[in-house]
Amino acid sequence: MYTISTEDFDLDYTLDCGQVFRWDKDGDWWTGVVNNAVARISQNPKTGELLVDSSLDEDFFYQYFRLDDDLPAIFEQINKDEHMDIAINKYRGLRLIRQEPWECLISYMLATASNIPRIKKNISMLSAMFGEKLEDDLYSFPKAEDLASTCCDDLCECKMGFRTARIIKAANAVVTEDIVLDELFQLDYHDAKKELMSLEGIGEKVADCIVLFAFDKMEGFPVDTHVEKIVRTYYGDDPFFEGKATKTKIGNWGRHYFGKYCGYAQQYLFYQKRLEGLV
C-alpha cells in the first residue's frame, strides 16, 4: 500500500467517464485490472491523495492517469467559450487515461454500435475465457496470440456478434506483425490514424479514440453520436459548418477550434453530457 499525491486530479470523474471499461467502484475503492495486475485505489477527497494497493508502482499510475499533463495549460488552450468554461470548471480533475495500445484497440473495436455496459461485459467475458486468472473473478486482458489462436466458436460465446471476426483478424494482424502497434507512437496523428484504419472494423471514430487514448495524439477528436449532438446543440449547424454538420465536418472543426489539446475538450464535453444530458 502506498500513496500518490495529486493536483487537479479527480479519480471518480476519470474512471467513470467512459474511457476505460475494466474499473468498478465499491464504496470508496475502485478495483480494476491494468497491465496484467489488479489495482485497488481510493482518493482522499480533502487532499487529493491516492491510496494504492497494487503490485504496479507509483510511476505506472503517474503515466496511466496522465498526471504528467499540465491541466491548467491545457485548459488555457481549450477554453474557447462559455460552454467549455463551464465544463472544465465543473469537472476539473477529469483526465484522459493513457491506455495500453492492444487493449485499447480491441476495446474500441467492440464499442462499435454498442454501449458501455455491454462493452464491459464483452471485455470481462473475453478476459475470463482467454486471459490469465489474477484473483477470484479478475482476469488479465488476453494477449493477441491468445485471441488469434482461438476458434471462432469459443469467441462467439463472448457475445460480440459481427465484431468477433474483426477481433480475430486484428489479433492475427498483430501476431503476424502486419501492424506493429508500438510503431504508431512514432507517427503523427494523421498517419497513425490511417494505419489503424487499414484494419477491418476501424473507421474514423474508433481510430480517433485509439490514437487519443493509447498513442498520445491529443489532436484526436472522436465524434460519436453524443459529441455530434453536443456540438450541434451548442455550436449550431451554421455558421461554422456551411450546411449540415456531418461527423467528419464536426471532427475537423473540433480539431481546428480547440487546437492541439482538443482531445481533452472532447472528453469534458462528452462527460458533461453523460452526467447531465444536453442543457
Partner DNA sequence: TGGCAA
Partner DNA sequence: GCCAG
The distance of closest approach from Cβ of residue 227 to DNA in the complex, given in angstroms and rounded to an integer, is 8
What gap in Å lies between CA 224 and CA 226, rounded to an integer?
Answer: 5
Of 147 and 199, which has the nearer Cβ to DNA?
A: 199
Helix (H) or strand (E) holding 31: strand 29-34
SS3 29: strand
CB of 199 to DNA, least distance (A): 7
Which one, 4 or 210, has the nearer CB to DNA? 210
Which cell numbers in the block locate residue 25?
Answer: 467502484
Q: How far is the CB of 18 from DNA (least distance, A)?
A: 11
Decide whether 162 or 186 has the Cβ nearer to DNA.
162
Q: State how far the Cα of 253 lies from the Cα of 97, in Å rounded to an integer.
A: 24
Shorter beta-carbon distance to DNA: residue 67 or 196:
196
The upper half-sphere exposure of residue 142, i.e. CA atoms within 13 Å in the direction of its Cβ, equals 26
Positions touching DNA (CB under 7 A) are 111-113, 156, 159, 161-162, 197, 199-207, 224-226
CB of 126 to DNA, least distance (A): 14
Residue 61 Cβ, how far from DNA at the closest point, in Å?
28
Q: Which is nearer to DNA, 4 or 105 (CB)?
A: 105
Q: Which long-range contacts (CB under 8 A, 24 or more apart) does 135-143 make?
A: 135/38, 138/31, 138/33, 138/38, 139/33, 140/33, 140/36, 140/37, 141/22, 141/33, 141/36, 141/100, 141/102, 141/103, 141/106, 143/102
Amino acid at 274: R
